[in-house]
Amino acid sequence: MKNKIIFSIFSIFIFLESNAQCAMCRAVLESEEGQTTAEGINDGIVYLMAIPYILVGGIGYFIYRKFNTAKKQKK
């Protein structure tokens, strides 16, 4: 169980360093001088990608906790 928790935490934080862009966005943003817009686009894409995973993970945690407390109360 401890290994699963460590793996989950590691996999959650590993995507924070990723850069994601579609081919068209990359072509337009690479021609820009300051690259500040490209960094902003990358941050926005990562933000939009992370929110659903966080929500599903939170809901899964609460369901898991609810079933675990119900089992402990029956014992």
pLDDT digits (tens, 9 = 90+) for 7-57: 777 777 766 555 656 677 767 777 777 777 777 877 888 888 889 999 999
Q: How far is CA 23 from CA 10, 30, 75, in A?
A: 28, 11, 56
Pull the structure tokens for residue 57.
Answer: 């993970």
Pull the structure tokens for residue 67.
Answer: 């079933």
Q: What pTM value is reported for the model? A: 0.49
